Structure 1
């Protein structure tokens, strides 16, 4: 019978509320209807709790706009606030130890729900709590009958919405890895042993860089003297100051304080609003756009270009971007010189020059959805020390990190598809690992990375571009990937610390200036099993290929090398031994000038020697020449700054070819015709 009365009352209230015509627009009436609606929902919760055999954990007195009531928490159902003396519920009787009686507005219908014997705990509300810097204390609510001996512990945790979290008892400090700090003020008790109302609270300290769109879950757990646990939770959002709500183009109307240091925006913003920020909010330090619906941050949105009459911005330190963002436009943050942290959210494209000149930028979080990083995107970000590039990236543009001198660590994740010419030009990278998904190192990729010491790559790489490691003066060792058969011009030019190169036998070409000025470079020792210290398949040696490699002492050229090009070993001052290919046809200008050669054997296939081939070879004492027809030489082939090498060097030829070398005699101390045919 009581249940029938209740449903009749519920039906009556529903009909009354649904019958209100739109022409009655009285605010007071609508407020009353809203209050009745809330109480009907509360009544529904009570009824469902009764049907589901739920029980009450806590009953905490409260008031809502002067109306007394109770905050009721359940073991299963969501908490509700019951207001007494309303048109739905007349009274709540909490005098019984084991149950609570709710009397409905008809004065006769009641709902009785059992109480838990466990000690209970509650929070002052259960919807999302918006915290600011001045409101980080959350009261803990306990039954007014709680005594100090009724519980053994209270613990609190905060879990981020991405699943990471911390416990108060293991948490070190706020701000580390985006983790909240939680402190509990324990309940206080009076002389009578009873709890002092409002004496207990949770105090939160947000991590660095938390934005309004982030959600954390506070969980507080009480353990009573019987070991039973009661847990309550509440979602939390934080911003330093209260947010303003804006529509596109309307920001100047809702953010009128030009002295603002922090601005948090909900709603929409457009280029006009960003121009207002640039031009008017000149003292702004933190801008939280995380609760806006922005899809594209317009080009020059927060950029300060001298061509437009702007001085670099020196106040804006942090910008928080929304999850809806897809594109960061051209020069969006150009010359924001105070900016020190950026989380790009879900951005898929970072356009060219986006963060150029952000000289204080120390940390950038790139989106796991990022596909493209445009040319010069982080150029001249001189404070950037670490960048983690997700595997979703398809293209890294040119000069992306140019002049990022403090950029020591670059992580390229598996999945990154391609680098571009000069991507890391002139940055401070110390080591790099190339993922298996990258198969080409373009021209100038790591040029002038003077601190680069280690390169870890794979044999799936098929090309290394021109000057790719030009002037990487700290690089000490390198192994050429098995997929690379041609080493391009200038690839390791000026790598002054490069000591060893791991060649493989499928390399057919070493380009122009490839190892020029690699002063520390040495080549492998040769033996009967390893007669060559250059790749056995080598056919082309570029001009100046090993010029000024002052550490090389011996060279054995493979049979496929028929031309020793201009300046190939010029200035190799410790080079004392050379074995030429038996197919050598030409030795070009300055090929062995300035070396420490003591002797050399010219195979029968040689037809010409160019200018200054042995210029200033002061240690040269013997030349064996096997061609039966004297190769063509010039007046400077055997030249020396102090004249010629005639005073010390002998020429050795075949007995049958002695007369063929008449044109050579003036350059040697003697011609000895005692060679035997090879």
Structure 2
């Protein structure tokens, strides 16, 4: 196996081995033993990485230490069956340059009981295979990924696997591979007061955060450690499903690693410092980010970096040269991208897959502009309108607000025009369940507010209606926090349950033609319109008060005669409205699940077909395939 290796001896020493026809060994005194121990290791050069992988070790000694470099290049991996059938091997020490253990890296070594692997990030399936003496295994803090088959097989005496605190996702993955096993998973607690685990970068210029924990209600990446800057957030460093209000990044940070903030929930807005050059794949995926402010130094954004977030609009800085495929996949609310001029032609729908706003759809498509060419006024208008999903009405002369995408906004003013067309309709459920929304101003151009338009906006306490409004739909303001409502004179129709369950509502200013819509509410004051008369003197004011008092007395007498019936009617109306809304929500949720199930089924069928077509061949799995598996696994877990 080592026939390609040759040891050269200087000519002046050649006579020392003359006539040694039967010599089979050369021994060296001292602790290290064999003078030619390094000849028992074979390294394979990896062209893409410009580094080496340990291919085979035939040095059957109690302890084997693998060098960090070979021929001036780093050793970064241990290959399949690299340590195989070594009966004397008890301990293996790997350098921190080794980041991957391939499948069955340690196979059938009956005496192997300890493996030191301080830098390993990925452990492939069955890396520890049939090791009789292995009783405990410590997964290093650097490890973020394990193979689909599990990391151990046939290790009958293995009792415990130790994992570091903050790696709960990794723990769940390993647990799923050990179903039915008696192996115990033990968590290694972090040191008291330690919120981060660091690793010195290879060039010694700064540190990488390997593992981090929230501080209070925020994640704050430190600016420095031991006098050197923190330049990188490592893979899965904060990807433990933390719920926080803020993510704070330091000014000296240069790289955000793969899945660094994946699954983190709570923050609505994230600011990327100017120093950051690279955002790797899945960095903020499956989170709640609705607004991201990119720094001027950004160069590249990796695959699925902001997958399944809540982005509404994007401004990509001039320095960005590479936006990976699917970087903003499944941002269903994304509608505006401002990009560098050179990048605009390269942005295609694949980079914004599964958004509800397709590139080729009607006026409401994802709109891509050049940052340098768009005027400041136009930019502000587009970014403001990005929060509204609008559709052109059939008459081609007006626009309906179909949906509102809140993002980070709490106060909203609906535009009077969109692309030179008046906004005339607030569609059904357009602002439905927009929690956190506190105030809305509608323009005079709006004539219709659809059914359930503002339903369940539980924080909405100020709503200003335009003077052109004609109709208000059923349950339009159901369960809002509105305290005072002014209905303009132009309104002719108000639907049932318009202000049902608005417990904070105390005063409604309403025109006489629709006052009856509020006759059976618990309002303190219902103020009628008195036409064009101005209540400028005391007699007029007294007459108005007397008329309103008479109305209240008449209403009280009518209510007293059928108090029980009215109470039951109100309760029934509330129940009916609640049932109808819940029924719609369930139908919507079931419809979404059906669509996702069908998509996943098609995807899995395609993958099975690929496997059948390539039977007997060694499949080279691309980064896209790995990404699909990541996504499929996440989707199945959600459904």
Length-normalised TM-score, structure 2: 0.37
TM-score, with length taken from structure 1: 0.35
